[in-house]
Chain A
């Protein structure tokens, strides 16, 4: 069974044999410049100013961060801009040892979801950002990072460009 499994995983042709076969190479030109729209434009402009903006639906009270111009629960336009704090609680965290393009990283990159204030641990929908977390792998591994209070580490004002990367990461305070 083991031998059979090994054979199955092995490619039937060697690299040399493969190179002999005709192949057509093509690199697609698939480039886009996405319209940020009303909600995300204000959000990105806010980041440049060191602020995190959300939109609130007055009907259900939900605050959308990143903002939306409509409430997906109530299916109506959201009503007002809310500035939320750049502090919150780590709700999830994961340590990745490979990059997006699958290269091995020397030290793991840690990302997760931060529930931003104002919100409470009784909320099941809340304003939140998915972002990098500046903490050690050990804190992720032993899960001690979960529930910790963190704050955004912003790039210096001159270096901000209206991007989610205007925040370097969220750090435990």
Chain B
């Protein structure tokens, strides 16, 4: 089977506010950096372009009309994916594997600072008949329900605080981590609850940012770089809506990781050298680590998920340190994984979630 690689990635922003640029200017900056890294001209060398976005995040209906020009896709084949960046990567890989493209660009961005009340947009994503009308005081109630159920498996508040501590301190080594900090477990555990069992520190903040990635076929990737990062496995899936999905587990990642690992011919995630796993809520990192087939509780308590552990999870900080860049979240984790592999590590798994109120996630298995 042919292979697909990520040959370059560029980013801009990753700050709570980016008033100096419009979203289009922000995307252009990320694209310029990605193309400089790949040493390609998007007007000549790129066959297809993909943008991952959602109209209500953008504040523009039919926002896909704005997708092409800041990435060099004006008057060129451009499609949009109304979903997470990893879904865009999978679409891009399919375009390459099916032979219609040799180089495909996948872009996603976020400008939550342009949204007046982002929680109202999240609320608008919930079922209009029986979820929205309950008028829950905050949108994190679903995470509270999920976390409480998850705790029945033997996880404690201290475990969640440990994830917060680990990821916030890991983020100090990444220039994208606006929310990184060095906190003690006491600092974290002394916070008031937003929704039991989660405090403000357990919940990742939003962030403005844009990411552009350049995918290439095996033949082209080898010409463009000495260090292509191969996507050996990929998958995304959705569970059902709130009333029919399993709480306390992440079925979307169980399915996605099982299939992506199978595709990559990896019989256990422990064979990989690290994970870049959605942690927009502290407990979610552990739930997601479990979903990809690992004993998260034991690994956390044994220190195996630490930066220097046997299976580092979010060694560059994850969303708790970087923030949530909306549909660019999966690309943010992919970018962390990409940099991790370029630094010399052999392999990694990226596992993304589309956030509340979705039960959708995607997985990439990447190898240097």
Point out residues on A near B: beta carbons under 8 Å. 24, 26, 28-40, 68-70, 72-75
Contacts and interface: CB of A to CB of B under 8 A. Distances in A.
Contacts of B70: 70, 72
Given A31-B116, A39-B22, A73-B74, 8 more contacts: A32-B114, A32-B116, A34-B23, A37-B21, A40-B22, A70-B28, A72-B74, A75-B43
A66 to B, nearest CB: 11
Interface in B49-73: 56, 59, 68-70, 72
A75 B41 contact: yes
Given A70-B70, A73-B74, A75-B42, A37 B22 contact: yes
Contacts of B199: none
Nearest to B20: A38
A74 B43 CA distance: 7
A36 B26 CA distance: 12
B21 A35 contact: yes
A74 B28 CA distance: 12
Contact of A24 (B116, B121, B128): B128
Interface of B: 18-25, 28, 31, 35, 41-43, 56, 59, 68-70, 72, 74, 111, 113-117, 120-121, 124, 128-129, 132-133
A24 B22 contact: no
B363 to A, nearest CB: 31
Contacts, number: 76
Q: Is the interface of A mostly helix, strand, loop or mixed?
A: loop
A34 B66 CA distance: 14
Contacts of A35: 18-23, 111, 113-114
A161 B28 CA distance: 28
Nearest to B17: A35
A98 B41 CA distance: 45
Nearest to A70: B28
14 contacts: A24-B128, A24-B133, A28-B124, A29-B116, A31-B116, A31-B117, A32-B114, A32-B115, A33-B116, A34-B114, A37-B25, A70-B70, A73-B74, A75-B31
A38 B21 contact: yes
A172 to B, nearest CB: 32
A37 B24 contact: yes
Contacts of A30: 56, 59, 120-121, 124
Contacts of B56: 30
B22 A36 contact: yes
B210 to A, nearest CB: 13
Contacts of B72: 72, 75
Given A26-B128, A74-B43, A75-B42, A34 B74 contact: no
A52 to B, nearest CB: 19
A34 B22 contact: yes
Name the residue in A34, A36, A74, A75 with the highest tally of chain B Cβ atoms < 10 Å from its Cβ.
A75
A57 to B, nearest CB: 13
A72 B115 CA distance: 26
Contacts of A75: 31, 35, 41-43, 72
Contacts of B120: 28-30
Contacts of B42: 75
Contacts of A39: 22, 25
Nearest to B115: A32
A73 B43 CA distance: 7
Nearest to B59: A32
Contact of A72 (B21, B23, B69): B69
Contact of B117 (A29, A72, A73): A29
